[in-house]
Structure 1
Amino acid sequence: MTVFIMVAGAFTGAHVWEATSARLAEAGAEAHAVSLTALDADRPAAGTGTDLEAHIADVLAAIDAVDPASGRQIVLVGHDYGIHPVLGAADRRPERVARVVYLDAGMPRDGVPPLAAVPDQELRARLSERAASGDTDGELAPPATREEWQRWGSTAGVPDAALDRLTALAAPQPLATLLQPLRLTGAVAAVPTSGVLCTGNGVSVDMVQRLVDFGDPALQALTDPRVSFFELHTGHWPMLSCPAELAEALRAAAAGEGRRLRPAGLCEPPAHLRPFPLEVPELPRERRGHVDLYVPDADGPRPAVVFVHGGPLPEGSRPTPREWPTLVGYARLAAAHGMVGVTLDHRLHDVGDYERAAADVSAAVDLVRADPRVDADRIALWMISGGGLLTAPWLAAPPPWLRCLAASYPILAPLPNWGLTDTGFQPARAVAQVGALPLVLLRAGLEAPEIAATVEEFVTAAKECGAELELVDVPAGHHGFETLDPAEEVGPPLRRAMRSVVGRLSG
Structure 2
Amino acid sequence: MTAFILVAGAHTGGWVWREVAAGLRDAGARAYEVTLSGMDGGGGAAGRGVDLETHIEELVRLIDRVEGQDVVLVGHCYGIHPVRGAADRRSERISRIVNVDVGIPEDGDPALKLVPDRTDRERVLSLAQEDGAGTLPAPAVEEWQRWGSVAGLPAEALARLTEQAAPQPLPTLTQPLRLSGAVAGLPTTGVLCTANGSSIAVVEAMVGLGDPAFQALADTGVTFFELDTGHWPMLSAPRELVDVLLLAAAGKGHRVAAVRERPTHLRPFLMDVEERPRERTGRVDLHLPDTDGPRPAVVFVHGGPVPAGARPTPRDWPAFVGYAQYVASLGAVGVTVDHRLHELTAYGRAADDIAEAIELVRADPRVDGDRVALWFVSAGGLLAADWLAAPPSWLRCVAASYPILAPLPGWGLADSRFRPAAAVRGAGELPIVLTRVGLERPEIAVTVEEFVSAAADCGAALEVIDVPLGHHGFETIDPTDESREAVRRAVGSVLGHLGAGTD
TM over 0.5, shorter chain: yes
How much has 1:66 moved relative to structure 2? 0.8
1:136 aligned residue: 132
Q: Give the residue type in structure 2 aligned to 1:73.
A: D
Q: 1:323 aligns with which of 283, 292, 316?
A: 316
- 1:166-205 matches, within 5 Å, as 166-205=161-200
Which residue does the alignment assign to 2:112? 115
SS of the aligned residue for 1:415 comes to coil
Alpha-carbon separation, structure 2, partners of 1:340 and 1:48: 60
Query: Percent identity between the aligned chains?
Result: 61
Per-residue CA distance 1:96-141 (angstroms, 9 max, x = gap): 111111111122111121001111211001112233x35411x111
Residues of 2 paired with 1:409 and 1:92: CA distance? 45
Amino acid at match of 1:205: I
Does the 8 Å contact 1:20/1:243 carry over to 2?
yes
Q: For 1:42 and 1:372, locate their aligned partners in 2 and report how far apart those are by CA, in whole Å.
A: 67
Does the aligned pair in 2 maintain the 1:37–1:45 contact within 8 Å? no
Whole-angstrom CA distance in 2 between matches of 1:44 and 1:127: 15
Give a deviation string over 1:214-272, Cα, whole Å, max 9, x none: 111111111221111111111111111111111111111111111112223x1x21000
State the 4+ residue runs in structure 1 displaced beyond 2 angstroms.
41-48
* Normalised TM-score (structure 2): 0.97
Find the counterpart in structure 2 of residue 83 from structure 1. Answer: 80
- The within-5 A match list for 1:410-421 is 410-421=403-414
Between the aligned partners of 2:462 and 2:25, the Cα distance in structure 1 is 54
Residue 239 of structure 2 is matched in structure 1 by 244
Assess, with a 3 A threshold, how the Cα gap between structure 1 residues 63 and 302 changes in structure 2: closer, same or farther.
same
Please say if 1:338 is aligned against 2:334. Answer: no
Q: What's the CA shift string for 1:164-222, capped at 9, x where partnerless?
A: 11111111111111011111111111221111111111011121111111111111111
Unaligned runs of 5+ in 2: none
CA distance in 1, matches of 2:374, 2:207: 28
**How far, CA to CA, are the matches of 1:101 and 1:393 in structure 2?**
39
**Residues 35 and 42, structure 1, Cα contact 8 Å, conserved in 2:** no
Quickly say closer, same or farther: Cα 1:504–1:46, change in 2 above 3 A.
closer
Query: Residue 461 of structure 2 aligns with which residue?
Result: 468
Partners of 2:316 and 2:340 in 1: how far apart?
Answer: 15
Aligned to 1:98, which of 95, 98, 111? 95
> Does the 8 Å CA contact 1:37/1:44 hold for their aligned counterparts?
no
The 8 Å contact of residues 435 and 465 in structure 2, kept in 1 or not, is answered as yes
Helix, strand or coil for the counterpart of 1:272? helix
2:220 maps to what in 1?
225
**Counterpart residue type for residue 142 of structure 2:** E
Paired residues, what number?
A: 500
Q: Distance in 2 between matches of 1:373 and 1:485?
A: 34
Paired amino acid for 2:435: L
CA distance in 2, matches of 1:414, 1:179: 26
Partner secondary structure for residue 418 of structure 1? coil
Separation in 1, partners of 2:457, 2:44: 52
Q: Please state how far the C-alpha of 1:487 moved relative to its aligned partner.
A: 2.1
AA aligned to 1:433 is G
Query: TM-score scaled by structure 1?
Result: 0.96
Write out aligned runs for 1:46-65 (5 A).
48-65=48-65
8 Å CA contact 2:48, 2:169 repeated in 1: no
Could you say which residue in structure 1 is the equivalent of 2:256? 261
Q: 1:428 aligns with which of 421, 426, 429?
A: 421
Confirm whether residue 377 of structure 1 aligns to residue 373 of structure 2.
Answer: no
Q: What is the identity, as a one-letter code, of the residue corresponding to 1:259?
A: H
CA distance in 1, matches of 2:234, 2:48: 32
Q: Deviations over 1:407-456 (max 9, x none)?
A: 00000111111101221111111111111111000011111111111111
Aligned partners of 1:291 and 1:40: how far apart in 2? 53
The residue number in structure 1 matching 2:384 is: 391
- State the SS of the aligned residue for 1:382: strand
